[in-house]
Structure 1
């Protein structure tokens, strides 16, 4: 299977781009239907992606990375999502956890845990859906933290955390009892009292290893605390958290554009009468790429993490990624006609994938609320 990405992955060593393409074509593409229909978890591919440098792009060499920058990390998510959004989402989960740790001042996490995650030796997820919605006044915080000697005791039920499994790390936010402060930490199901439960089945995301996480008096040592209190720290990581998700939208949209061009070989004489043509969508895709890549480059040197104007630009890009993924996947089916309506077709899967781009936290409605709340 030929694999193409709209823009090449940037690295002086062109072997990296070739290795990513080969890994996707040889290890991921043959498993896509199994991931989608049977809930297969592509563990081997994720480890392979880590081995070839897919998770370490934004991490400095001192902590196990190559320091190529956030744009390169975003492009890895884009490349994987073009073939399989479910796996692209898990790639984002893992890179997000890498991002959290590298932005922390906790030397234990940066020196001991980050190299394991950045190289894909240990896989990781992010449990920030609930707190991100909580801080936007959408839902209540799920976890509480009680200070104790040497750390904190965490209690609560955190629903739907993805890319989890035995020994995987993931991030959490908990409200510190009897205060108005919060902490953020890295945890694992290896911590006594932390249990993973499979409580739901998902369309397009069944292979994502998504669990509810039950915390019953879980002791989290100080060495696993990313920040406490964490208000300033969350301001520093939130732009990267949101911007990296644009890679999912770029990948899904590129796949839909490719499908539309393929349909035009047979139906181009009539597809041109549709309002949303492949030319319009491809133009919007290229513009979104340029904007998101520029923001990613700027993020490497961002000195003012509370820069509202910068974050607004990130949020707008993320909104555009959602809307473009929806437009393009719908148009791809209209371009294909009845062929696109066959059960199990790539277009069927991509339509379901595009809806996830618009509902994963922060969802499209959440993003628009953020922009509204910025309005004086």
Structure 2
């Protein structure tokens, strides 16, 4: 009952968006289509089923400028903004969502650094990350869930001379490997406020460990992280406890919104599969729910809203758009599930084969729906925002 009502609300939210808002074009990057065809497309099954990590593709995409949108020109970026990042991610995700997710991890890490006040850290790491010479991840899933009261913090920071000592375990962080970096955060003992910092995986006190194996997304460099008195000097801190609230307010909306790059690309590829199947089976496929035209219409609306919000966040990372971001991100999850199921049903038995793109799209769509923030977390945060709004109105 709740799910049906929620889906109806999401569709209503999408269709309430101004349809006159233009969809931005220009996310095309010279050489990306060729790189996808040459390096990514031939390896999609190996990425999905064998856990092959497309390191060379990710490095070459950086060399082409695929990560440059979220970084200022002073640090090697192009300044095109989050809009460009989502478009590149969407284009890659049409072929392989695992790789699209790795791009999200890389660009999220870049954006965390870009929005930090630590100029020395930015000068040291941003140029290599933006060019793909250095690869990076994001380990803020537990941090965000802790902040929302969903999970206990799995890491603890203790203030010591010159920095902090970190202890604990993160069960999985993605786009990692030897020599990579990633950003995470945790509360400080006897303080309670958050600390955000950069982790170098080759440093003493840190260890990468093979973790769980998943139904999809195996080729994402997802590993468990162990911290044993890992020392973070103050030069590697992105936000100290006294500034962490304002820092989180800057990074969170864009981090969540950028995930739409995965969903938009996935839905587009599912529509392509439906249209392909209908070339020979339209007579029977017409009785299925979620036809290509309907999905394409809702995708166009989701794209317009996504790019409206990316432009706002490009202008002001702290813009008060979190409610709209959560709504479109939830819509992206719901639309991904519907589109992938429809693609598989349209393909029929052919879509159920081991190497079929259709069954892979279904598993990828479930990832879009459960990656932090998952559908249940998005609904919870929206409900909390609504409750706070009602309380504010009743007390005014």
**Band the TM-score falls in, shorter-chain normalisation:** over 0.9
Q: Which of 341, 346, 349 is the matching residue for 2:357? A: 346
- The equivalences for 1:161-310 within 5 A come to 161-229=173-241, 230-302=244-316, 304-305=318-319, 307=320, 310=321
Structure 1 residue 58: Cα displacement: 2.0
Structure 1 residue 303: Cα displacement: 6.1
Distance 1:90 1:9 in 2: 23
Aligned partners of 2:29 and 2:66 also within 8 Å: no
Unaligned runs of 5+ in 1: 1-6
The aligned length equals 363
Aligned partners of 2:135 and 2:175 also within 8 Å: yes
Aligned partners of 2:68 and 2:78 also within 8 Å: yes
1:95 aligns with 2:107: yes
Unaligned runs of 5+ in 2: 1-22, 388-396
1:10 aligns with 2:26: yes
Distance 1:136 1:333 in 2: 35
Aligned partners of 1:9 and 1:17 also within 8 Å: no
TM-score normalised to structure 2 length: 0.90
Q: Which of 43, 46, 63 is the matching residue for 1:31? A: 43
- The equivalences for 1:109-188 within 5 A come to 109-188=121-200
TM-score normalised to structure 1 length: 0.94
Structure 1 residue 8: Cα displacement: 7.8
- Residues 311-340 of structure 1 show CA distances to partners (whole Å, capped at 9, x for unaligned) of 110111100110111000000111111111
Distance 1:87 1:151 in 2: 35
Structure 1 residue 17: Cα displacement: 2.2
CA RMSD of aligned residues (A): 1.2
Distance 1:349 1:132 in 2: 28
Task: Determine the structure 2 residue equivalent to 1:68.
Answer: 80
- The equivalences for 1:349-368 within 5 A come to 349-368=360-379
Task: Determine the structure 1 residue equivalent to 2:346.
Answer: 335
Look up the SS of the partner of 1:57 in the other structure: helix
- Residues 128-185 of structure 1 show CA distances to partners (whole Å, capped at 9, x for unaligned) of 0101111111100111111112111111111100110011110111211111211000
Distance 1:146 1:167 in 2: 25
1:373 aligns with 2:379: no
Structure 1 residue 344: Cα displacement: 2.0
Structure 1 residue 9: Cα displacement: 5.5
Aligned partners of 1:9 and 1:76 also within 8 Å: no
- The equivalences for 1:51-66 within 5 A come to 51-66=63-78
- Residues 92-111 of structure 1 show CA distances to partners (whole Å, capped at 9, x for unaligned) of 00000011000000011111
